[in-house]
Every structure is written in C-alpha cells, then in structure tokens.
Amino acid sequence: MSEFAEAFSWFVVQQTGARSAKVITFEKLSGGAIQDNFGLTLEIEGGERAGTQHFVVRQDAPSGVAESLSRPEEFRVLQAAFEAGVTVPEPLWLCENLEVSGQMFYVMTWAEGSASPRKLVKSDLTEEQRRTIVRRLGAELARLHNVRPPVQSLDFLALPDPENAALSRVAIYRRHLREIGEPHPVLEWALNWLEDNSPEPGPTVLCHCDFRTGNYMMAGETLTAVLDWEFAAWSDPAEDLGWFCSRSWRFGANEREAGGVGEKQDFLDGYREAGGIEIDPTAVSYWEVMALVRWATIALQQARRHMSGEQRSLELALTGRMVAQMEFDLLTQIQDLEDGQ
C-alpha cells in the first residue's frame, strides 16, 4: 500500500507541476467489486493544486469481467458525463504507463457522502424527501441520455446491432452463458421470453448501465456523485431506467420500486421533466427482467474469477451464490407481467 501511495503521489506531482507532495492519508475504499478504488489525501507544495487535496484513484483489479470497460475507456466516458452536466467526480488525469503502479489508473476529485445502499434505503426519510431524491436521480439520467452518437471521444463504444439494444443484449447474454459452460435453464428461458417480448426500441443514447442504489453518493439528502462507469454503453434509455428499478437493487425494500428509495412514477417523472423522452412503463418493466438476467450473468462471471484462481475472494465467491435468488425473481416477475397482460 505504501508503494502505491508513493506512486500515485509522484504521478500527481507530475500532472500538477508541484514541487512536492506529502501523503497525509491513503486507504483502499470499500465497494468496487470489480475495480480497486483508493482514497488519497496529499499536502501539495506549488503547482496548480497547492494545498491539501483529496483524490480518488481508480485502478485495474487483478482480474475483470467481460462487460467492463478499460480504465482509459471509463475515463473518457466519465469526461463525457461531466461535460453533459451529470453529477460526477471531476475526471482529472489518466495514467496508461504501467511502470507507475503496475496497472492503468485514473485520478478524480473526492466526493463527500456515503454510497451505502442499506444505509439510504433504511434511513428515516420522509415521503417528500424520498420523492425529491428519486426525481433528482431521474433528472441525472435525463442529462446523461442527451449524449448521443456519434461522439468522437467515445468511438470505442459499439452501437447496438441491428439498431435494437434489447435484442443485442439478448445475444450478448446468450454468448456469456455459453462461455460459462454450465446449464442455467431459468436464465435461458428468460432470454427466450425477452427475445419474444422485445418492445419498440428507443433512441440510442449513452447509458450508465449500472445506475443503481449503491453506485451514487449521498450526503444526507443531497446527491454528490454518480459512480462506477465501467459498464457504460450506447443503448436504449429504458435500460438505465429498468436497471435502477430492478428488484436486485431495492435491498429488501421491494415496495419502493425506484431503487428501494422511492416510487417508480416519481423517478420517471423526474426523468421526463428534466428532458428525458416519454418512455412506456411496460418498456421499463421489460428492462427490469433484462436487468435480472444480466446481473445473474455477471454474478456467475464474478464467481469464476474466484474459482479460476485469478483472484481469490470470498466476496466474489458469495456473489455467485446470489444467482438462485435472481432466478426466483425472474420466475416471479415474468409471471406477474404475464398475468398483467
């Protein structure tokens, strides 16, 4: 850890033109199951950021999952979101030189608050406070979805083929399941349902693709940062809305469909009133099913990072054990949708 601290400190000195920088605090941050995040506080002498400065360094972990962007790609997505007015940490510097720390990384500004989902979901908020929070979160997505192709800095992001994000996603998850190499009949059945029931596609926009409770920071009732952009992609705007409302991200508060925090309609109203397109609620429900399939697939990939020996981790192993719950939720949710029809 001390070697990392010195490496990152040296890099910041080079980027800011400082005379020197003293490490005040350095720690590995909680969360970040796929990438490593470090908090770094420096006392900087001279240069463009003199004084006490708080940073977050986001670095490649020893292994990853198939969907994840590289750190240079994620850095450019974060830049695009920042320029679009989304509440994100300011992306400062990217390091692609492996000689600095052994991995690629980037540095961004520190955001105050907590990303703990259970703390937020179980907090003693009034209904009006909850309404305000989820409407603000909907507005954040509306700003992000104003970014549409072509964007030269994001040319590494593939467009959905054949201009239908839902069917593109179905094809991707079928491939991932084949690569996992073990039978999961509920997931395969759910993919068939998704293929048979795909809605009319929306416009192609920049999606976060992991916008959920646990991936944004709150200081009290105030949103301070949207985090973890490694899954960003060109997609249908309903994908982000459905992911946020998925049962997997309500953390036990299933009655609050918007991230376990508030009402789905308030979330959709906040999205629409901030400039998001009008989206059929049935399309959001469809993408909630897609979210369960996707998260189950990622959970299986996470477990294999542990099982392969690439990255031994109890957290990764336990993530794989969550698939049964997601399969149960899929059976329940699809049945509810079928009954509703």
**Full pLDDT tens readout for the chain, 341 residues:** 789 999 999 999 999 999 999 999 999 997 655 688 999 999 999 999 999 999 999 998 765 555 789 999 999 999 999 999 999 999 999 999 999 999 999 999 999 999 999 999 999 999 999 999 999 999 999 999 999 999 999 999 999 876 788 999 999 999 999 998 889 999 999 999 999 999 999 999 999 999 999 999 999 999 999 999 999 999 999 999 999 999 999 999 999 999 999 999 999 999 999 999 999 999 999 999 999 999 999 888 887 765 656 666 666 666 767 899 999 999 999 999 998 75
Q: At which of 53, 79, 109 does a domain end?
A: 109
Distance (Å, rounded) from C-alpha 145 to C-alpha 142?
Answer: 5
Cβ proximity of 268 and 281 under 8 Å: yes
**Residues 197 and 303 both lie in one domain:** yes
**Residues 92 and 183 both lie in one domain:** no
Please report the beta strands in the chain, taking only residues with DSSP state E, as ranges in sequence order.
Answer: 20-28, 36-45, 51-59, 91-95, 105-109, 205-207, 216-219, 222-226, 233-235
* pLDDT (0 to 100) of residue 30: 79
Determine phi and psi for 192, rounding to 5 degrees. Answer: -60, -45
**Residues 187 and 229 both lie in one domain:** yes
- What's the CATH number where 77 sits? 3.30.200.20
**Residues 296 and 179 both lie in one domain:** yes
Q: At which of 109, 133, 163 does a domain end?
A: 109
Count of domains forming the chain:
2
Q: Is 203 exposed, middle or buried (0-12, 13-18, 19+ CB in 10 A)?
A: exposed
**Residues 98 and 159 both lie in one domain:** no
* pLDDT (0 to 100) of residue 229: 96
Q: At which of 54, 79, 109 does a domain end?
A: 109
- What's the CATH number where 261 sits? 3.90.1200.10
**Residues 123 and 195 both lie in one domain:** yes
Query: At 91, is the secondary structure helix, strand, or coil?
Result: strand
In the chain, the amino acid numbered 84 is A
Instruction: Give this prediction's pTM.
Output: 0.91
Range of the domain at 32: 2-109
Q: Which of 333, 117, 340 is nearest to 244 (CA)?
A: 117
Q: Read out DSSP for 176-230?
A: HHHHHTS--HHHHHHHHHHHHTPPPP---EEE-S--STTSEEEETTEEEEE---T
**Residues 71 and 132 both lie in one domain:** no
Find the distance separating the first CA and the last CA of the chain, reported in whole Å: 56
Beta strands 36-45 and 51-59 are antiparallel
Residue 262 DSSP class: B
Helix, strand, coil percent content, the chain, rounded in steps of 5? 45, 15, 35
**Residues 323 and 231 both lie in one domain:** yes
Angle between helix 281-307 and helix 237-245 axes, rounded to 10 deg: 70
In the chain, the amino acid numbered 114 is S
**Residues 71 and 138 both lie in one domain:** no
Determine phi and psi for 153, rounding to 5 degrees. Answer: -70, -15
* pLDDT (0 to 100) of residue 62: 65
**Residues 74 and 197 both lie in one domain:** no
**Residues 98 and 177 both lie in one domain:** no
Residue 158 Cα distances to 39, 69, 305, 321, angstroms: 32, 12, 25, 31
Q: Which of 69, 308, 293, 304 is nearest to 174 (CA)?
A: 293
Element (H, E) at 240: helix 237-245
**Residues 84 and 123 both lie in one domain:** no
How far is residue 209 CA from its own chain's centroid? 6
Q: Which of 161, 166, 156, 159 is nearest to 77 (CA)?
A: 156
How far is residue 56 CA from its own chain's centroid? 16
